[in-house]
Amino acid sequence: MSAERYHRGVVHLLVVLLALPVLGTLVYSLSERWDATVLPHGLTLHWYTRLWLDERFLLAFWHSLVVCFGTLVLSTLVIVPAVFAIHYYFPRLDRWMNILILLPFAVPPVVSSVGLLSLYADGPLPLVGTPWILLGCYFTIALPFMYRMLSDSLRAIDVRELVDAAHLLGASTPRAFWSVILPGLRKGLLASLFISFSFLLGEFVFANMLVGSRYETLQVYLYNLRNGSGHFTSALVMSYFAVTFALTWLALRFGKREAA
């Protein structure tokens, strides 16, 4: 009994510890002034209204959404058929894919962006400074999440046998994929899309190094405001946090329903 209380205590302490900075930021973003006093002064939504009326913020937010959604569309179009092809036609490649998808984690973005800068600064594909280079970079960030989750979903169903059964009933391979395999992937796909999205929305290093202010995204905007009002950036961080939180919650819900 006391062991259980101890465990609960530890968990609660951890939650408080993790929540404190967020709560602090929240309170800061809602107060008029909080500098020389222990407690904040005046409750206001002023920072939020200023933020959500700021065109530069809205544009950066829009840029982030464009890059994130663009990446997710690209990833879905490439990775879903790839996962199916690997599991159905080349099951042995799965092992190599699992190594391949770890590479983006192995090389820090700061390092790989140096390489990307020299590769795409000029030459046949001068992509640096355009959002297009982010689509490619973000694809490599989304790849591990999407490949793993889709691959797990596929492992849960016997792909080969289901496709064989559909073939014998007269379906072509694309038809079998569309009506039998894809529905089984839907939840895994949605969950992995949500997780990738919240990850990509918070991406800073690639965005700053490769594109910067030429196509300002949310994180770069935040960085550029570092010398401005702390209340204002707190409101920005809280807004960003709310979006990410909502998405993560959705992802978990889909993930849970998948497991059930």
Partner 1 sequence: MSYVEVTGFAKSYGAHAVFEDISFALAKGEFVTLLGPSGCGKSTLLRCLAGLTPPDAGRIRVNGEDITDAAPQKRGIGMVFQSYALFPNMTVRQNVAFGLKMQKLAADVVARKVAEALDLVELDGKEHAYPAALSGGQRQRVALARSLVVEPRILLLDEPLSALDARIRRTLRQQIRDIQRRLDLTTIFVTHDQEEALTLSDRIFVMDRGRIVQQGSAETVYTRPASEAVARFMGHYNLLGSDESRRLLGREVRGHLAIRPEAIHLFAAADAAPGLIPATVTHSQLLGNVVRYRVEAQGTALHVDRLNRRAADLLPVGAEVALHIDPEDLQEVAP
Q: Which residues of 118-136 are buried (b: 16+ CB within 10 A; e: fewer)?
A: eebeeeeeebbeebbbbbb
- Cα dist from 118 to 127, 137, 139, 211, 220, whole Å: 11, 15, 19, 13, 21
Minimum distance from residue 81 beta carbon to partner 1 (Å)? 18
Closest to partner 1 by CB, 171 or 237: 171
Q: Which is nearer to partner 1, 162 or 225 (CB)?
A: 162
Q: How far is CA 225 from CA 19, 56, 103, 123, 142, in A?
A: 24, 11, 32, 33, 27
Sign for the CA dihedral angle at 24, 38, 32, 226 comes to: negative
| Cβ closest to partner 1, residue 74 vs residue 157 | 157
- Mapped onto helix, strand or coil, the DSSP state of residue 43 is strand
Per the CB < 8 A criterion, the answer to whether 68 and 203 are in contact is no
Task: Find the shortest distance in angstroms from Cβ 191 to partner 1.
Answer: 17
211: buried, middle or exposed (CB in 10 Å: 19+, 13-18, 0-12)?
Answer: buried
Name the minimum Å distance from CB 154 to partner 1.
Answer: 12
Shortest distance (Å) from residue 120 CB to partner 1: 42
- Please identify, using beta-carbon distances, which residue of 55 and 161 lies nearer to partner 1: 161
Nearer to partner 1, 105 or 178 (CB): 178
CB of 142 to partner 1, least distance (A): 25
The site for partner 1 (CB under 8 A) is made up of: 157-158, 161-162, 164-172, 175, 179-180, 183-184
Q: What angle do CA 206, 223, 67 make, to 5 degrees?
A: 40
Shortest approach of partner 1 to residue 161 CB, angstroms?
Answer: 4
DSSP secondary structure of 204-216: -HHIIIIIGGGG-
Q: What is the H or E stretch that residue 180 is in?
A: none
